[in-house]
């Protein structure tokens, strides 16, 4: 006897197959989100997600601040299944707004903008931090922990 959920699984599997065989323009499965890269992190890479389906298989490009990233030129960059991996991210070179662009013969789609920022924990606070004033040596409680020293503003 076949259980109903098995039928459901089979059905969605077949829908999925049908979808894969139908020619269609690129569609985002996952778009990049803002990334805050902690300057003091152990992790030496950043991943900006982008996952696209389409038939024919879409070609994926990335833009940084509106300019195409030439993946081949900088060895720190890699595109894996559409997602952008940056090794040894560097604030000077990599901070900015990223977009993923997917193209096939049916058209082109452009993802939302995802900001890559470099910061110490204190930058997780809202931008209206100026309302908080603390004298040196005075105790202060922040929900995300005490602010660390920061080398400069973004
Ligand atoms: C980041 O890139 C800039 C410009 O290329 C360079 O001067 C700086 O040394 C780099 N910083 C690190 C930590 O690699
Ligand atoms: C991208 O633009 C932002 C905002 O204008 C700027 O701070 C950043 O340095 C730019 N990034 C690059 C790599 O040019």
CB 32 within 8 A of CB 60: no
What band does 119 get if pLDDT is binned at 50, 70 and 90? confident
Pocket test for ligand 2, best of 86, 95, 114 (most atoms within 8 A of CB): 95
User: What is the arithmetic mean of pLDDT over 147-152?
Assistant: 48
Pocket test for ligand 1, best of 92, 93, 94, 96 (most atoms within 8 A of CB): 92
Total tally of structural domains belonging to the chain? 1
Check which CATH number belongs to the domain holding 51 and give it.
Answer: 2.60.40.10
Decide if 154 is inside a domain: no
What span, in angstroms and rounded, lies between the C-alpha atoms of 54 and 140? Answer: 52
What band does 144 get if pLDDT is binned at 50, 70 and 90? very low
Decide if 22 is inside a domain: no
Decide if 145 is inside a domain: no
Give the SS3 label for residue 141. Answer: coil
Decide if 6 is inside a domain: no
For residue range 31-73, list pLDDT tens digits in order. Answer: 999 999 988 878 899 999 999 999 999 999 999 999 999 988 8
Question: What is the pLDDT, as a whole number, of residue 41?
Answer: 79
Residue 97 CA: which ligand 2 atom is closest? 1
**CA 88, 85, 17: angle at the middle one, nearest 5?**
165
What span, in angstroms and rounded, lies between the C-alpha atoms of 10 and 36? Answer: 40
What band does 137 get if pLDDT is binned at 50, 70 and 90? low
Rg (CA), the chain: 21
Question: What is the pLDDT, as a whole number, of residue 11?
Answer: 60
Decide if 66 is inside a domain: yes
pTM of the model: 0.69
Domain ranges, residue 53? 28-122
Decide if 76 is inside a domain: yes
């Amino acid at each position: 006897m076949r259980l109903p959920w098995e039928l459901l699984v089979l059905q969605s599997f077949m829908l999925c197959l049908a979808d894969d065989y139908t020619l269609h323009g690129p569609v985002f499965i996952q778009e990049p989100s803002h990334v805050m890269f902690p300057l003091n992190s152990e992790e030496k890479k950043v991943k900006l997600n982008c996952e696209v389906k389409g038939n024919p298989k879409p070609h994926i490009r990335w833009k940084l601040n509106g300019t195409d990233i030439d993946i081949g030129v900088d060895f720190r960059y890699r595109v894996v299944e559409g997602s952008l991996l940056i090794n040894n991210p560097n604030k000077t070179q990599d901070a900015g707004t990223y977009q993923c662009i997917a193209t096939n013969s049916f058209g082109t789609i452009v993802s939302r903008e995802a900001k890559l920022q470099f910061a110490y924990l204190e930058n997780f606070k809202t931008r209206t931090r100026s309302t908080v004033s603390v004298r040196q040596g005075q105790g202060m409680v922040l929900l995300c922990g005490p602010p660390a020293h920061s080398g400069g503003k973004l």
